[in-house]
A = this chain, B = another copy of it.
Amino acid sequence: MLDAGRVAHVAVHDEAGQPYVVPVAHARDGDVVLFHGSTGSRLFRALAEGAPTCLTVTLLDGLVLARSLFESSMHYRSAMVLGSAAPLEDDEKVRALEKLSEHLMPGRSADARGPNRKELAATLVLALPLTEWSVKVSAGPPDDAAEDLDRPVWAGVVPLVTTAGTPVAAPDLRGGPPVPAYVMTWQHG
C-alpha cells in the first residue's frame, strides 16, 4: 500500500497538543518510509527532532452503494505507520530524493538534474522505520441486511481509477524534446 499510494498524510502536534496533518510525498525504501519537507517548516523540524508521528497512506478504490446508507461506504486500502522519524544526511539524502522521485514517476530521476549543495541544505529528508504499523482494507460487494435486498434500487460498487491526462509541456521548453516513455506509460496505485 505504501508503494501504491501517491500521497501520505503525516501528523505531528505542538506543545499545546494541537495536531497538524500535512500531505507529503513519500516512498518506501526497504524497511523505512521516506518523506521530505522544507528545513523552513516548523513541523518538519519537530519531526526531524524525533517528535512522535503517524504517517498514513490511503488509496480510495471505489464507492460502495448499498441499499442502506449505513452499509454504503468506500473501498479503500490504508496503511498507518507509527513512530519517530530521523533525518538523513549527505549521500543517503541524495539517494532518498531519487527514491522519492522514482516513487511517483519511475524513470525520471535519470533525466532530471540531481540536487546541488544549496538545494540539499534546504531539504529535510526523514526516514520513519516500519516497526509499528497497521493496514486496513475495505473491499467486496455491499453487505446489505437480508430485509433490505428487496429494495428496488441498484446496488453495487463504482470503481475509482486515477489516470494520467494529456501531458502539458512547460511554456519555456527548449529544443522540442519528446514526451518521455515513462510519462506516456505512467500508471500507479
Contacts and interface: CB of A to CB of B under 8 A. Distances in A.
A141 B156 contact: no
A11 to B, nearest CB: 4
Interface string A1-44: 00000110111110011111111010000000000000000000
Main SS at interface, chain A = mixed
A173 B173 CA distance: 53
Interface in A23-72: 23, 25, 52-56, 58, 60, 62-63, 65-70, 72
Contacts of A66: 112, 170
Given A22-B80, A70-B116, A72-B101, 18 more contacts: A7-B60, A9-B21, A10-B21, A13-B52, A19-B53, A21-B80, A23-B78, A63-B104, A63-B164, A68-B112, A69-B98, A69-B114, A70-B123, A113-B151, A142-B170, A149-B172, A155-B170, A158-B186
Interface of A: 6-7, 9-13, 16-23, 25, 52-56, 58, 60, 62-63, 65-70, 72-74, 76, 78, 80, 82, 97-98, 101, 104-105, 108-109, 111-116, 119, 123, 141-142, 144, 148-175, 177-180, 183, 186
